[in-house]
Amino acid sequence: MFSFLKSGIGKVKKALLKTRSILSDPLRLLFKKPLNEETLEELERILFEADLGSSLVSHFTEKLESYHKKNKTASSDDFLKEIKTESEEILKTCDSTLNLSASPTVILVVGVNGSGKTTTCAKLAHNFKKEGKKVLLAAGDTFRAAAIDQLKLWADKLDIELVKSSPKADPSAVIFDAVSAAKARGCDIVIADTAGRLQSKTDLMHELEKMRAVSKKVIPDSPHETLLVLDATTGQNAIDQAKIFNEYTPLTGLILTKLDGSAKGGIVLSIYHQMKLPIKFIGVGEKQDDLMPFSIKEYVDALFS
């Protein structure tokens, strides 16, 4: 994972530029003023705008208030440092490593419509291939012909094997074929795309369980990872999605896409605070190299620098 982490230096910082402009820049100015009722209100407003969510906003406000009581002469930089340390503390248990011990490892990629699943599958496949792994993509979104074509285009471009079926076929059958093929061909990783589904549509949510069951028929402890792709620009709504998906199908981690172009970068912190589901990757653009393994330090530095 280290190889593509290095090439991503600066990308995370760039992706969080908008969030930074509404978060750390105003905070730095605010911390120059004395901390009183008025500035505390302003502090809450700034934290809300970066999508930190109400529980985290209260948490930070209380922490900063008590820090101020103990450190009356603290500077603006001291306050920023304090909020940074506190953010790292919240994320400290977020283990972003993937469980890749099985061969083949099966990764199921799920999420609502348009969150970035197909693109993320391609980016993941590309990253693993760069590490020398033999990857197979499964076109588990059989809902629309265009979805299969989209993954096929990526597979051709990245020179990665693809298992697909005809449109409208049972997605579980595709998963079965893909996992069986990966096993027979000695692949290291299978990455399965799935159709976008609204968390409120229970029949579609149950379909996910069927896909998991079928994968288990071929490899009993699979899928090894079930990753929920969340569009960071949807803000706090992403938390509701994570809660409901997790009720239907046990998630092993989250991928937050479209952090570039979003001013809601605080959602990463907020979602971990509330869900305690590890954030495994973040999407910082549309190209194959725009998926970064989530690094606590890199993220917190980018958010508050």
Ligand X SMILES: Nc1nc2c(ncn2[C@@H]2O[C@H](COP(=O)(O)OP(=O)(O)OP(=O)(O)O)[C@@H](O)[C@H]2O)c(=O)[nH]1
118 is a contact residue toward Mg ion (CB under 5 A)? yes
Cβ partners under 8 Å of residue 180, min gap 6: 218
Query: Are 237 and 51 in contact, with CB atoms under 8 Å apart?
Result: no
Q: Interacting stretch for ligand X, rule CB under 6 A, among 90-98, 100-108, 178-186, 285-293?
A: 285-293
Burial 135-144 (b: 16+ CB within 10 A, else e): bbbbbbbbbe
Number of residues in contact with ligand X under rule CB under 6 A: 20
Residue 10: which of Mg ion, ligand X, none does it interact with, CB under 5 to 8 A by kind? Answer: none
Q: Return the H-helix or E-strand segment holding 227.
A: strand 225-231
Complex with ligand X: residue 68 or 264, whichever CB lies closer: 264
**CA nearest to 142, candidates 167, 105, 121, 164:** 167
Residue 238, both tokens: 């992403």
Residue 20 phi/psi, 5-degree rounding, is: -60, -40
Complex with ligand X: residue 20 or 258, whichever CB lies closer: 258
Residue 140: which of ligand X, Mg ion, none does it interact with, CB under 5 to 8 A by kind? Answer: none
Residue 257: which of ligand X, Mg ion, none does it interact with, CB under 5 to 8 A by kind? Answer: ligand X
Query: Are 257 and 231 in contact, with CB atoms under 8 Å apart?
Result: yes
Residue 116 CB, shortest distance to Mg ion, in Å, is 8
**CA nearest to 221, candidates 197, 250, 246, 193:** 250
Residue 184 CB, shortest distance to Mg ion, in Å, is 26
258 is a contact residue toward ligand X (CB under 6 A)? yes
| Cα separation, 212 vs 217, whole angstroms | 9
Number of residues in contact with Mg ion under rule CB under 5 A: 2
Q: Interacting stretch for Mg ion, rule CB under 5 A, among 54-62, 112-120, 239-247, 290-298?
A: 112-120
Of positions 19, 96, 105, 118, contacts ligand X by CB under 6 A: 118
Region 122-161 residues binding ligand X, contact defined as CB under 6 A: 141, 147
Complex with ligand X: residue 141 or 298, whichever CB lies closer: 141
Of positions 3, 261, 297, 305, contacts ligand X by CB under 6 A: 261
User: Within 13 Å of residue 255, how many CA atoms lie on the same side as its CB?
Assistant: 31
142 is a contact residue toward Mg ion (CB under 5 A)? no
Of positions 196, 223, 266, 293, contacts ligand X by CB under 6 A: 196
Residue 89 CB, shortest distance to ligand X, in Å, is 27
User: Within 13 Å of residue 40, how many CA atoms lie on the same side as its CB?
Assistant: 14
User: Within 13 Å of residue 114, how many CA atoms lie on the same side as its CB?
Assistant: 2
Residue 164: which of Mg ion, ligand X, none does it interact with, CB under 5 to 8 A by kind? Answer: none
**CA nearest to 175, candidates 192, 197, 196, 158:** 192
- Which residues of this chain interact with Mg ion, rule CB under 5 A? 117-118
- Which residues of this chain interact with ligand X, rule CB under 6 A? 111, 113-119, 141, 147, 196, 257-258, 260-261, 283-286, 290
